[in-house]
Amino acid sequence: MQAFTVEQVRAARAFLGWSQRELSEASGLSYETIRNFENSRNSATAQTLAAMRNAFQKSGVEFHQRGRRIGVTIMQPWQRW
């Protein structure tokens, strides 16, 4: 599973209009865990990363990385390709 960066998490939250508390609720993680991750105070466990990724994926967010380029996309419910 591809890792994601703090910057991607912040961008994904911005796309969704989520606060750190809202990500906490969506992922089932504590607010402090989200805050500490975004402030790079400690490294996140595999379970923490999986919970965040799952919350974002359920909301249509995808994380991308190609070489040194990173990105975030979101699929809106009304978009049908």
CATH of the domain at 13: 1.10.260.40
Query: 25: domain range?
Result: 6-74
pLDDT in tens, 41-78: 777 899 999 999 999 999 999 999 888 898 999 887 65
- In terms of pLDDT, which residue wins out, 76 or 12? 12
The answer to whether residue 60 sits within a structural domain is yes
The answer to whether residue 1 sits within a structural domain is no
The answer to whether residue 79 sits within a structural domain is no
The answer to whether residue 44 sits within a structural domain is yes
Q: How many domains does the chain have?
A: 1
The answer to whether the pTM exceeds 0.75 is yes
Q: What element of type H or E holds 6?
A: helix 6-16
